[in-house]
Amino acid sequence: MKISVAGAGYVGLTTAACLAEIGHTVRCADNDAAKLAVLQAGKVPFFEPHLEELVTRNTKAGRLLFDTTENAVIDAEAIFICVGTPPLDNGEADLAAVANVARTISQYASGNCLVIEKSTVPVQTGQQLKRQLQLYARKGLHCEIASNPEFLREGSAINDFFHPDRIVIGVESEEAAAQLREVYRPVLDQTFRCPIHANCVSTRKPAWIVTDTKSSELIKHASNSFLAMKISFINMVADLCEAVGADVSQVALGMGLDPRIGAAFLNPGVGFGGFCFPKDVQAFVRIAEKAGCDFSLMKEVEKINKRRVAYFVEKVRKELWVLRGRRIAVWGLAFKPNTDDVRFAPSIEILKALTREGSVVSAYDPAATEKARAILPEVNYCATPYEAARDSEAILIITEWDEFRSIEWARLRSIVSRPLLIDGRNMFDPKEATRHGFHYVSIGRGSFFSTLPEDAPVPPREFRTAAK
């Protein structure tokens, strides 16, 4: 099928490359000329595991092309809108980019085409989109609209495309549903050659959910808001654990084994970040308000999350007493591992707070340094975690990169000025860090493990780690 994808950001470029990989001819467009030039030169402007190889392979095969939106939509049978919907000052999603693409489609597309909103948009956007397309449609253009929310997590987006739990579409006709089914057929039947798992034998077929467009739009916002709620919930439980001397890892494990609750997204820490949860929670609150529903529950979720940075900085202050002049190492800048994205990352706010207080900060991240540098040029960025840790009085873990799990403890111990590890993601077993001579501070884990004598019997490992 001839497909066009408008927007070459994390969602658009991933979607375009994956659709090309399953055999479609895809024109991916962006109105940022500089980004388009980078893509046309064969480069990927951000880091996402496996994306570059997919882009290279499909560009070479002629299935993936990069073009202006005007050119890309001309003869497309299906157009996915994947442009950004950033937050406005009042928390609502800014739909200007979606409206721009709609205008371009109505003026340049031709024949019958299905226009699919993949960007995260407020419920009822589909109706506005339809009106806009009808209003400006040039002669001979027949557009139908559909919604197809994405559930791609940065860092595992390619995997999520090929092995989703569900594919949700919101449509207004059976024809549109059939066309989208055809788009996703290889994924639905799991008949593609898996580009990420060498001997992939996946037979688990994703659920195919067909709804009206409004329900589909809501599924996306409600899903992200629910996950954000889980995180804020466990962060509050962590605070309570800290106050009473209990262990949040064990509480999360005990809760998560109930299938009605589920183990995922019960890891406490410095709060959720990224370009999805913070803005989607805000937008969901505004959507509910506009519809006359009091969804104050989500306002609390947002408030709890915003407090996490101050809570963490207080934790650091408690250990160091004063922050001015202290040499602090920050490990992890990306809002989560396996991405270089620092948008709404807790690290940025933590770095700002520490530098404002006069701390001398050295930071390390395996992928996000350049993006962080563009926001906070005054920070000293290092090439390795050891370089950042040299002579430090505290190491703060903000992002749980795997690389930190294989740290050489003895080497680390020998280069720091004070062996203090403040883990904002509960990456380590407190006992392990303590054994290597570090004073270890984590989130919501009482003194149970760190005060046990070395030879005391310990529960099996699965009972000691947070639910993953």
Q: How far is CA 293 from the centre of its chain?
A: 27
Tokens of 312: 């963490």
- Least spacing, CB of residue 85 vs ligand UGA, in Å: 10
Phi, psi torsion values for 430, nearest 5 degrees: -55, -35
Q: Which of 115, 167, 168, 276 binds ligand UGA (CB under 6 A)?
A: 276
308 binds ligand UGA (CB under 6 A): no
365 binds ligand UGA (CB under 6 A): no
- The residue among 156 and 392 lying less far from ligand UGA, judged by its C-beta, is 156
Q: Which residues pair with 387 in a beta bridge?
A: none
231 binds ligand UGA (CB under 6 A): yes
Q: What sign for the dihedral angle of Cα 366, 371, 374, 375?
A: negative
132 binds ligand UGA (CB under 6 A): no
- The residue among 63 and 118 lying less far from ligand UGA, judged by its C-beta, is 118
218 binds ligand UGA (CB under 6 A): no
- SS3 per residue for 127-141: HHHHHHHHHHCCCCC
Active site residue 82: no
Q: Which of 161, 162, 312, 335 binds ligand UGA (CB under 6 A)?
A: 335
Residue 421, SS3 per DSSP: strand
- Least spacing, CB of residue 272 vs ligand UGA, in Å: 3
46 binds ligand UGA (CB under 6 A): no
151 binds ligand UGA (CB under 6 A): yes
Tokens of 356: 């404002």
Reported for 215-218, long-range contacts at CB under 8 A and 24+ positions apart, including other chains, are 215/170, 216/147, 216/148, 216/149, 216/168, 216/169, 216/170, 217/117, 217/121, 217/122, 217/123, 217/124, 217/125, 217/126, 217/147, 217/149, 217/170, 218/123
167 binds ligand UGA (CB under 6 A): no
Site string for ligand UGA, 87-126 (x = CB under 6 A): ---------------------------------x------
Residues 6+ apart with CB under 8 A from 406: none
- Least spacing, CB of residue 263 vs ligand UGA, in Å: 9
Question: What Rg, from alpha-carbon coordinates, does the chain have?
Answer: 24
Catalytic pick among 82, 113, 241, 276: 276
The distance in angstroms from the start CA to the end CA of the chain is 39
- Least spacing, CB of residue 269 vs ligand UGA, in Å: 5
224 binds ligand UGA (CB under 6 A): yes
- The residue among 234 and 382 lying less far from ligand UGA, judged by its C-beta, is 234
336 binds ligand UGA (CB under 6 A): yes
| Residues at the contact surface with ligand UGA, assessed by CB under 6 A | 120, 150-154, 224, 227, 231, 265-267, 269, 272-274, 276-277, 335-336
